[in-house]
């Protein structure tokens, strides 16, 4: 209630019900004013407490909302992680089955392996990372192919021509610069002979758009003789395995 209204109420009560009371001195209204202004003046203590309560309630509501949102986010994250784990497990199982199937049908020397120049070559149609492809080759007694001559490059390229189904359908070979950027090593630990390279246009470019770690493994396909390109080692690709012909007696 405003100050002016309080003063008015006090004066009208005394005039109606109690004539014995002396007429208030001119100081009384001032006293009343002081009384109200110290203890109950509108806009003083009570509204402040009310504001605090209102503030506390708002904070509680905000905290409650944040808790609900946090719980929802944690639940969503948990579901996503679970789904990712399940997907990875399924993929891993499929890859293992594919590898086992390849092992069973291709470990024998006369199946799948193509002889050429004293070596045997296996063209894997399973898309795996560079490391997984290398493991697959090793499980069959070989390794990713090392290219030692122009003639060998030409042979492989001719063979890929009939195996590539689309432009990005490429094959890992046994060359990587994953140990030190720009220093290309074959899987038999020999350095790349810079006079015997078959890089495509603008390659190697260690492109980081697809993978921030860059491109440290080499894949090849059908592009005349210049068919090499560096690629993220994590990218799933087909691959070419090689082993000496004498390994099969």
CB atoms within 10 A of CB 163: 15
Q: Which is nearer to Ca ion, 174 or 214 (CB)?
A: 214
Q: Which of 90, 131, 147 is nearest to 235 (CA)?
A: 131
Q: Shortest distance, CB of residue 61 to Ca ion, whole angstroms?
A: 54
| Beta strand extents in 28-158 (DSSP E only) | 114-116, 119-128, 143-144
Asked if 157 and 222 count as a contact pair (C-beta separation under 8 A), the reply is yes
Q: Shortest distance, CB of residue 224 to Ca ion, whole angstroms?
A: 17
Q: Which residues contact 157 (CB under 8 A, 6 or more apart)?
A: 220, 222, 224, 225, 227
Q: Which is nearer to Ca ion, 122 or 184 (CB)?
A: 184
Binding residues for Ca ion (CB under 5 A): 177, 205-207, 214-216, 229-230
Q: Which is nearer to Ca ion, 113 or 177 (CB)?
A: 177
* Packed helices 28-39 and 3-17: angle between N→C axes, nearest 10 degrees: 130
Q: Which is nearer to Ca ion, 39 or 208 (CB)?
A: 208
Q: Shortest distance, CB of residue 184 to Ca ion, whole angstroms?
A: 8
Q: Shortest distance, CB of residue 177 to Ca ion, whole angstroms?
A: 4
Asked if 173 and 144 count as a contact pair (C-beta separation under 8 A), the reply is yes
Q: Which is nearer to Ca ion, 211 or 245 (CB)?
A: 211
Q: Shortest distance, CB of residue 92 to Ca ion, whole angstroms?
A: 26
CA distances from 248 to 6, 15, 92, 120, 138 (A): 112, 126, 30, 9, 14
Q: Which is nearer to Ca ion, 140 or 229 (CB)?
A: 229
Q: Three-state SS for 105? A: helix
Q: Shortest distance, CB of residue 121 to Ca ion, whole angstroms?
A: 24
Burial 68-81 (b: 16+ CB within 10 A, else e): eeeeeeeeeeeeee
């Amino acid at each position: 209630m405003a100050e002016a209204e309080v003063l008015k109420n006090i004066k009208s009560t005394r005039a109606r019900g109690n004539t014995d009371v002396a007429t208030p001195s001119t100081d009384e209204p001032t006293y009343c004013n002081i009384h109200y202004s110290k203890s109950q003046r509108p806009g003083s203590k009570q509204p402040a407490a009310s504001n605090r309560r209102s503030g506390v309630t708002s904070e509680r509501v905000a905290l409650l909302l944040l808790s609900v949102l946090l719980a929802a986010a944690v639940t969503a994250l948990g579901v996503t992680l679970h789904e990712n784990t399940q997907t990875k497990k399924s993929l891993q199982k499929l890859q293992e089955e594919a590898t086992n199937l390849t092992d069973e049908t291709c470990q024998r020397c006369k199946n799948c392996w193509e002889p050429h120049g004293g070596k045997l070559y296996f063209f894997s149609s399973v898309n795996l990372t560079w490391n997984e492809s290398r493991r697959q080759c090793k499980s069959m007694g070989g390794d990713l192919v090392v290219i030692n001559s122009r003639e060998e490059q030409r042979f492989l390229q001719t063979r890929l021509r009939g195996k590539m189904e689309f432009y990005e359908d490429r094959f890992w070979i046994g060359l990587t610069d994953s140990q030190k950027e720009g220093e290309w090593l074959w899987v038999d630990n020999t350095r790349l002979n810079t006079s015997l390279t078959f890089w495509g246009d603008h390659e190697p470019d260690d492109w980081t758009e697809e993978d921030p770690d860059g491109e440290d493994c080499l894949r090849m396909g059908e592009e005349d003789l210049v068919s090499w390109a560096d690629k993220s080692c994590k990218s799933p690709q087909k691959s070419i395995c090689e082993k000496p012909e004498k390994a099969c007696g």
